[in-house]
């Protein structure tokens, strides 16, 4: 059986821009963002790629035409060989009725209700309905799809199935929390013997979305909502935990069933005024670092308090030991660690596809009937395009007037040469094998450096990544070495940078470049099965320097997608102050002048 999962709406940016005033990158960040495709063949996830990696439009919500084509081509599959096409949104007639009821029951004036109904109707007819989804596929692929082959999967179910499949199956309690699905923003329940049981009491409507609330504070602080929330999380570490939180006192209400209500106006001007009154802010203060740290700390505390409230209900209702956490909120790695350590769960899994790229995977594996995978299977995020030696040489030839290169004889020599470069204060672009999938998986398209240098973060933030100087970087470490360097608590590994751990005191001075201001690090653990090239490099680097990890950040600059092809890597290398570029067995430098 062959199943193609995909996420993205071709009209999303246009409709939300015209009807709701969304502009710039915000047009792509409402519904269908992180467009992607994933292919399951005979029970195995064989390919997955985000559309942005190929189109080079960051966070695109567009129909993933290039991603679909690449997935099929990479597996040698034609469209007519696909048994089912799975789409991770299901705006059924019942959902549409609920959307209408929410508008009619709102406190809006009558004329505003009619305007809202007209806009919602146009979005539903042009984007959400089964007919619109079907027409979108036919128009952008040119393939006359049998309508019976199109399956619409509820959004939160797609999130859950992605996490369950990548965690290796098995029984687990679950929490899914994101900005919005069809009408809800958060659900909880259990997965037992492949059967999903939803705890109705813990469901949270879209109107009280924690993800949206955090996004509005993100905008208030001058960042892009539904994109830059991790910056707010990083800022929060620069201040002490709040003694009291006006958000919890005046905006959030927690209910006994594990749900909650968040009351923040939809209008930007209205919620800016609310936040100014809550935080003592104004247009000048919002530019001040200390004020932004304070507000970020309150926002982060709100997330931690609400998720802790949800977990109290979930643990009371379930006797299972493992928690699956998926959805955009699952990218808040600071909250994740506290959720696990303060709960009765012995294990917690957050997948590399936790946010919306993963729903393409989830829709595919759910439709394929997959609930479990072999316990000894290697879970890998390296599901995207790779490039052979001739393609690498073609790209190098295209830039031969600006770069020069040396070819190493084998993988061991590549590791030794790269370790030698990283022993100094050099920044290295690292490009190997297949591209990663999702926002929390690195290792094949990475920027690497030596964390022993205290100022290495500033060098990369300012001269390479072109981003805010307060932003931390994650260390990558061999899984076998991680407990020696970091306090892992209940975790034994963290391969996708979805948890934060204290750096052991004896190592803080040895790897200052990988420590955040609060002495923690968002680590990526690596083993030989999942990424042999990176594991080999780590061993060579540690043997040479006695430094147990490498600083590891995504191979891109601010505002750009992570590089995918050798040409992308060369363009980024030449546009930044990266010192060396390693593509497969080629070590590349810039020509003088």
191 shares its domain with 286 = yes
Q: What is the DSSP letter of 394?
A: H
- Residue 278's domain comprises 168-350
**Residues 299 and 416 placed together within one structural domain of the fold:** no
Q: How confident is the model at residue 27 (pLDDT cuts 50, 70, 90)?
A: very low
| Residue 372 confidence (pLDDT) | 52
Nearest 5°: CA angle at 523, between 521 and 525?
155
Residue pLDDT, tens place only, 292-305 = 999 999 999 999 99
CA–CA distance, 264 with 247 (Å, rounded to integer) = 10
Q: What is the pLDDT of residue 25?
A: 46
| Distance (Å, whole) CA 293 – CA 281 | 12
Number of domains in the chain: 3
Is the confidence at residue 22, as pLDDT, over 70? no
Q: Which residue has the higher pLDDT, 32 or 414?
A: 414
The arithmetic mean of pLDDT across residues 332-355, rounded, is 95
CATH of the domain at 6: 3.30.420.40
Closest to 48 in 3D by CA, of 4, 83, 102: 4
In a domain, 440, yes or no: yes
| Whether residue 131 sits in one domain with residue 173 | no
Specify whether 197 is located in the same domain as 323: yes
pLDDT level of residue 28 (50, 70, 90 thresholds): very low
pLDDT at position 91 is 94
Question: For residues 375 and 400, which has the higher predicted lDDT (pLDDT)?
Answer: 400
Inter-helix orientation angle 93-104/110-123, to 10°: 160
**Residue 375 pLDDT class (50, 70, 90 cuts):** very low
> Shortest CA distance to 171 belongs to which of 194, 188, 150, 137?
194
565-575: average pLDDT: 97
Give which of 531, 466, 537 is closest to 496, Cα–Cα.
531
Measured CA distances, 19 to 45, 119, 213, 402, 421 (Å): 38, 6, 21, 46, 52
- Per residue in 167-221, pLDDT (tens digit) is 988 899 999 999 989 999 999 999 998 899 999 888 999 989 999 999 999 999 9
- Same domain as 205, residue 124: no
Residue listed under structure tokens 């508008």: 103
- For the cut 90, the answer to whether the pLDDT of residue 559 exceeds it is no
Whole-angstrom distance, CA of residue 318 vs CA of residue 202:
13
pLDDT tens figures, 294-342 = 999 999 999 999 999 999 999 999 999 999 999 999 999 999 999 999 9
Flag whether 375 is in a domain: no
Q: Are residues 156 and 174 in the same domain?
A: no
Q: For 60-67, what is the mean pLDDT? A: 95
Shortest CA distance to 490 belongs to which of 327, 340, 387, 390? 340
In this model, does residue 422 exceed pLDDT 90?
Answer: yes
In DSSP terms, which residues pair with 223 in a beta bridge? none
Whether residues 27 and 156 share a domain: the answer is yes
pLDDT winner (highest mean) among 67-71, 264-268, 469-473: 67-71
* Same domain? 269 vs 178: yes
Quick one: average pLDDT of 513-523? Answer: 94
Domain shared by 129 and 185, yes or no: no
pLDDT of 156 > 90? The answer is yes
Domain boundary pick from 322, 350, 378 = 350
Average pLDDT of the chain is 93
Same domain, residue pair 254 and 129: no
pLDDT confidence tier of residue 501, bands split at 50, 70 and 90: very high
464 and 430 share a domain?
A: yes
Tens-place pLDDT, residues 84-126 = 999 999 999 999 998 899 899 888 899 999 999 999 999 999 9
Reported in sequence order, the residue ranges of 361-464 that DSSP labels E, i.e. its strands, are: 403-407, 428-431, 445-449
């Amino acid at each position: 059986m062959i199943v193609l999962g995909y996420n993205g709406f071709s009209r999303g940016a246009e409709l939300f821009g015209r009807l709701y005033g969304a502009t710039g990158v915000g047009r792509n960040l409402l519904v269908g963002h992180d467009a992607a495709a994933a292919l399951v063949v005979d029970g195995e996830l064989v390919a997955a790629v985000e559309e942005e990696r190929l189109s080079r439009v960051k966070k695109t919500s567009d129909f993933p035409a290039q991603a679909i084509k690449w997935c099929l081509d990479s597996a040698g599959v034609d469209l007519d060989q696909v048994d089912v096409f799975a789409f991770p949104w299901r705006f059924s007639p019942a959902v549409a009725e609920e959307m209408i009821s929410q508008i009619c029951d709102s406190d809006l004036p009558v004329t505003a209700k009619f305007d809202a109904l007209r806009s919602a109707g146009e979005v539903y007819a042009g984007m959400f309905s089964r007919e619109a989804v079907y027409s979108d596929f036919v128009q952008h692929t040119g393939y006359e799809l049998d309508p019976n082959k199109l399956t619409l999967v509820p959004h939160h179910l797609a999130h859950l199935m992605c996490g369950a499949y990548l965690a290796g199956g098995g029984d687990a309690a679950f929490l899914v929390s994101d900005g919005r699905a069809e009408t809800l923003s958060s659900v909880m329940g259990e997965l037992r013997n492949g059967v999903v049981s939803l705890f109705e009491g813990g469901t949270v409507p879209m109107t009280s979305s924690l993800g949206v609330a955090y996004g509005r504070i993100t905008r208030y602080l001058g960042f892009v909502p539904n994109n830059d929330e991790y910056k707010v999380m990083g800022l929060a570490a620069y201040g002490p935990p709040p003694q009291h939180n006006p958000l919890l006192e005046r905006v959030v209400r927690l209910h006994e069933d594990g749900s909650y209500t968040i009351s923040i106006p939809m209008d930007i001007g209205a919620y800016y005024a609310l936040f100014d009154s809550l935080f003592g802010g104004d247009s000048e203060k919002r530019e001040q670092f200390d004020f932004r740290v304070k507000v970020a700390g309150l926002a982060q505390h709100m997330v931690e308090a609400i998720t802790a409230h949800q977990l109290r209900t979930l643990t009371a209702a379930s006797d299972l030991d493992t928690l699956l956490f998926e959805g955009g909120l699952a990218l808040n790695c600071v909250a994740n660690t506290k959720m696990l350590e303060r709960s009765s769960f012995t294990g917690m899994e957050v997948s590399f596809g936790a946010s919306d790229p993963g729903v393409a995977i989830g829709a595919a594996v759910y439709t394929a009937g997959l609930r479990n995978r072999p316990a000894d299977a290697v879970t890998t995020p390296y599901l995207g395009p790779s490039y052979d030696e001739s393609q690498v040489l073609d790209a190098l030839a295209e830039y031969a007037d600006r770069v020069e290169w040396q070819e190493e004889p084998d993988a061991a020599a590549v590791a030794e040469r790269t370790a030698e470069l990283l022993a100094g204060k050099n920044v290295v672009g690292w490009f190997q094998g297949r591209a990663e999938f999702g926002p929390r998986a690195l290792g094949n398209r990475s920027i690497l450096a030596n964390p022993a240098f205290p100022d290495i973060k500033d060098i990369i933030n300012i001269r390479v990544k072109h981003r805010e100087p307060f932003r931390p970087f994650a260390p990558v470490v061999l899984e076998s070495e991680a407990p020696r360097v970091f306090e892992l608590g209940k975790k034994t590994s963290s391969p996708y940078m979805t948890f934060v751990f204290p750096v052991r005191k004896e190592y803080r001075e040895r790897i200052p470049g990988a420590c955040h201001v609060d002495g923690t690090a968002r680590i990526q653990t690596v083993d030989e099965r999942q990424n042999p090239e990176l594991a080999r490099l780590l061993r060579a680097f540690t043997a040479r320097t006695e430094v147990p990890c490498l600083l590891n950040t995504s191979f891109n600059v601010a505002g750009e997608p992570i590089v995918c092809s050798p040409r992308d890597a060369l363009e980024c290398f030449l546009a930044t102050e990266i010192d060396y570029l390693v593509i497969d067995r080629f070590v590349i430098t810039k020509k003088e002048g």
